[in-house]
Amino acid sequence: MVRMLSRVTTPPTDHADHVWPGEFTYCPHCAHALETVTVEGEPRRRCPGCGYVHFRNPGVGAAVVVRDEAARVLLVKRGEGASRPGRWSVPAGFVDYGEEVRAAAARELLEETGLVAEIGDVIHVASNFHDPEKLTIGIWFACRVVGGELAAGDDATDARFFPLDDLPPLAFETDAELFHILAQR
């Protein structure tokens, strides 16, 4: 039996007050200037021309937790162009529109590490507030590596296994939360 690990992470501010630097100014459908109105009790950007309402939904990220025979975790060092370059994270990336979330997890693992895996159960879910321009929901999956050769790729400059009690500087608080939970098991 796999236990799903979860913890509620509180955003730094109330979601209604969260300032999004990329706020839409014009309607993506008809190009009218948007106005701010209250929809479903929240301030939203709405088009007075066609009625389009913009909901600031978070992106979805898929991460893969790979462990070796010694129970160490695989991390990738984030390269230039990635958020928080030089720090380490669980191999992960965004789910593309129309892509199944486990397929995205497998694709990201292959792109960043060269490893091919069967994606298993969800082991952690968290809201990520580290980038105010792109809030996300992260889903961490267990996996079983079935092929490939470990080599950093895509936006990773290194890929290595680390023991949970000797981790390098992590890029994301949500990875640290996951590792804290895993270490207590």
Residues 66 and 136 in one domain: yes
User: Are 166 and 98 members of one domain?
Assistant: yes
| Run of H or E including 120 | strand 115-128
27 within some domain:
yes
Structure confidence by residue, pLDDT tens digits, 83-120: 888 899 999 999 999 999 999 999 999 999 999 999 99
Are the C-beta atoms of 50 and 44 separated by less than 8 Å? no
Domain extent, residue 114, equals 58-183
Helices assigned H by DSSP within the chain? 101-113, 173-183
**What is the rounded radius of gyration, in angstroms, for the C-alpha atoms of the chain?**
19
Instruction: Summarize pLDDT for 26-71 with one digit per residue, the tens.
Output: 999 999 999 999 988 888 899 999 999 988 888 899 999 999 999 9
Phi and psi (nearest 5°) for 148?
90, 175
Report the distance separating Cα 181 and Cα 58, nearest Å: 24
Q: What pTM, to 2 d.p., does this model score?
A: 0.80
Q: Residue 90 sits in a domain of what CATH number?
A: 3.90.79.10
Q: Does 8 map to a domain?
A: no
Domain count, the chain: 2
In a domain, 84, yes or no: yes
